[in-house]
């Protein structure tokens, strides 16, 4: 449990009442997000790259190609900021200033490690697939040594992380509440459309459930 | 039109066949994304913050609080990387290595400017609201001078931007195609659930359409 900010850098400055630092909240948001954005400093410049992440215990993992700039920056010991954000609803107020959104987000800071032991890497790859498609790993053509080599996996302990959340109705000032306009929330949700089978899929093979579709 | 990379830094290294540098593609993806992640370098460390953006012509705008670290970092002339990412489908292959996703993403690099002229800022705020809720601006309680001051808006010309896209079926190797497992794509889409009116909304006021709900 981290009831207080794990570092001054990770402490929320804006709207600190929306902040949370406890492990359960941070884990739940990481687990609910289909993908993440990882920020690096490359040649002194910020670079933000979308990729897929997963969590095991108090560690977050993400995936890249062994040949990517992102992975090479991390291999050089660079720090990252891994952020996930879920937009739950638009929040419509009576004045533009009080418009907002209901959301859940997490920021994780630190220096990641490359998972380079082949056994650990294979276990992590399995964790990635099983997070999305439980039971699928065993049904796939097993990875070759070359495929394992070409996959890069990074791990970051969740030692410097924070969550930020908003929920509920708009926060109009009392004197604005009778302004004659609709106000409230417009919830958003991800859904899965019908699976599209590839050519050559054999009869009897069924698609798994769509991850993160509500 | 930018048929070639606008800079070496913005050039895609990994899977360059998925890259696009033309204005129409970049604009369309920015317009289709509900929100963005902005990366900054603060005290030498990467910081990735989700926020809302909108586009006007060949400029992208985003929104923050005048008091935020993010805005202060930008006010100091710091460079950003603004990234938007849309996850369109999970792509399931016959081997873990060829699993992928269909997506559309854009990265925009540069040094943003604070929109500080009050008239320009008001016009930008209007653009933000109208992007999401066409016609709503005129129905709201007009912003006060203090509300305009407390809102920070940043602008970035799209001079160093790139897009990356994947679509279509999995890319299994020919020798894997008869592996007995389901393969194909699982499309994802945002939908809007029923609007939740705030207390005190007057009879006859109707909610707008939910932005980005398909």
**What is the pLDDT confidence band of residue B3, given thresholds at 50, 70 and 90?**
low
Chain B nearest C-alpha distance from A105 (Å): 8
Which of B177, B186, B166, B171 lies closest to A133, judged by CA?
A: B186
CA distance A71 to A68: 5
DSSP structural state of residue A141: B
* DSSP-assigned letter for residue B8: T
CA distance B21 to B8: 12
What dihedral angle (degrees, nearest 10) is formed by the CA atoms of A54, A55, A60, A62?
-20
Q: Chains A and B: how many Cβ contacts under 8 Å?
A: 287
B2 pLDDT above the threshold of 60: no
pLDDT in tens, B40-91: 999 899 999 999 999 999 999 998 766 677 667 666 678 999 999 999 999 9
Indicate yes or no: CB of A46 within 8 angstroms of CB of B37. Answer: no
Task: Using CB atoms, pick whichever of A14, A194, A196 lies closest to residue B68.
Answer: A14
Taking contacts as CB-CB distances below 8 angstroms, the residues of chain B near A212 are: 188
C-alpha to C-alpha distance for A187 and B201, rounded to whole angstroms: 17
- What is the C-alpha separation between B152 and B147, in angstroms, rounded? 10
The pLDDT tens digits for A79-127 are: 999 999 999 999 999 999 999 999 999 999 999 999 989 999 999 999 9
**Each residue of A133-144: pLDDT tens digit?**
999 999 999 999
Tell me the chain B residues in contact with residue A109 when contact means C-beta distances shorter than 8 Å: 45
Q: Calculate mean pLDDT across residues B192-213.
A: 96
pLDDT, position A203: 93
The mean of the pLDDT values for chain A is: 92
Indicate the pLDDT class of residue A75, thresholds 50, 70 and 90: low
Q: How many CA atoms lie within 13 A of B198 on its CB side?
A: 28
pLDDT at position B9 is 85
Residue A38 pLDDT grade (very low, low, confident, very high; cuts 50, 70, 90): very high
Q: Name the nearest CA neighbour of A83 among A59, A104, A56.
A: A104
Kindly state the percentage of chain A with pLDDT values over 70. 93
- Exposure of A64 in the CB half-sphere (CA atoms within 13 A): 26
Alpha carbon dihedral B11, B17, B23, B25, in 10-degree steps, equals -140
User: What are the tokens at A130?
Assistant: 């099983």
Q: How many residues does chain B have?
A: 214
Contact A114, A153 (CB under 8 A): yes
User: How much of chain B, in percent, has pLDDT values that exceed 90?
Assistant: 80
pLDDT mean over B197-202: 95
Question: Going by C-beta distance under 8 Å and a sequence separation of 6 or more, which residues neighbour residue A57?
Answer: none
The domain made up of B16-116+154-169 has a fold known as Pnp Oxidase; Chain A (2.30.110)
Q: Looking at residues A155-164, what average pLDDT do you find?
A: 96
> Rounded to an integer, what distance in angstroms lies between the CA atom of residue B156 and that of residue A188?
28
Compute CA distances B108 → A51, B102, B180, whole Å.
17, 20, 42
Give the pLDDT band (50/70/90) at residue A11: confident
Mean pLDDT of A48-69: 88
Looking at residue A47, its pLDDT comes to 94
In angstroms, the separation between the Cα of residue B1 and the nearest Cα of chain A is 23
According to DSSP, residue B14 is labeled: S
Chain B residues whose CB is inside 8 A of the A135 CB are none
Q: Whole-angstrom Cα distance, residue A198 to residue A137? A: 18
Q: Quick one: tokens of A159?
A: 């030692």
More reliable by pLDDT, B129 or B116: B129
Handedness of CA A31, A35, A36, A38 (dihedral sign): positive
Which candidate in B13, B34, B37 is best for mutational testing of the A interface (most A CBs within 10 A)?
B37
Nearest to B45 among A14, A43, A79 (CB): A79
Q: What is this model's ipTM?
A: 0.94
pLDDT at A2: 46
Q: Which tops the pLDDT comparison, A89 or A6?
A: A89
Enumerate residues 6+ apart whose C-beta is below 8 A from A94.
A170, A172, A176, A177, A179, A181, A183, B140, B141
Average pLDDT, chain B: 92
Give the CATH H-level superfamily of domain A16-175. Electron Transport, Fmn-binding Protein; Chain A (2.30.110.10)
pLDDT of residue B108: 97
Task: Test A182 with B69 for CB contact under 8 angstroms.
Answer: no
User: Distance between CA A197 and CA B56 in Å, rounded?
Assistant: 39
pLDDT of residue B10: 86
């Amino acid at each position: 449990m981290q009831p207080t900010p794990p570092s001054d850098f990770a402490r929320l400055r804006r709207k600190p009442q929306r902040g949370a630092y406890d492990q359960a909240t941070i884990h739940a948001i990481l687990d609910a997000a289909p993908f993440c954005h990882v920020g690096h400093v490359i040649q002194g410049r910020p670079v933000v790259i979308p990729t897929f992440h997963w969590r095991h215990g108090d560690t977050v993992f993400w995936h890249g190609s062994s040949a990517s700039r992102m992975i090479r920056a991390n291999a050089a010991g660079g720090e990252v900021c891994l952020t996930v954000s879920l937009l739950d609803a638009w929040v419509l107020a009576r004045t533009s200033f009080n418009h907002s959104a209901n959301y859940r987000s997490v920021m994780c800071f630190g220096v990641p490690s490359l998972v380079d032991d082949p056994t650990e890497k294979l276990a992590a790859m399995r964790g990635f697939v099983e997070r999305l498609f439980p039971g699928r790993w065993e049904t796939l053509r097993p990875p070759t040594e070359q495929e394992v080599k070409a996959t890069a996996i990074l791990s970051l302990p969740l030692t410097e992380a924070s969550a930020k959340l908003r929920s509920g109705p708009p926060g109009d000032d009392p004197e604005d509440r009778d302004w004659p306009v609709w106000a409230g929330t417009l919830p958003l949700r991800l859904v899965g459309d019908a699976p599209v089978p590839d050519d050559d899929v054999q009869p009897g093979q069924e698609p798994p459930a769509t991850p993160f579709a509500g």
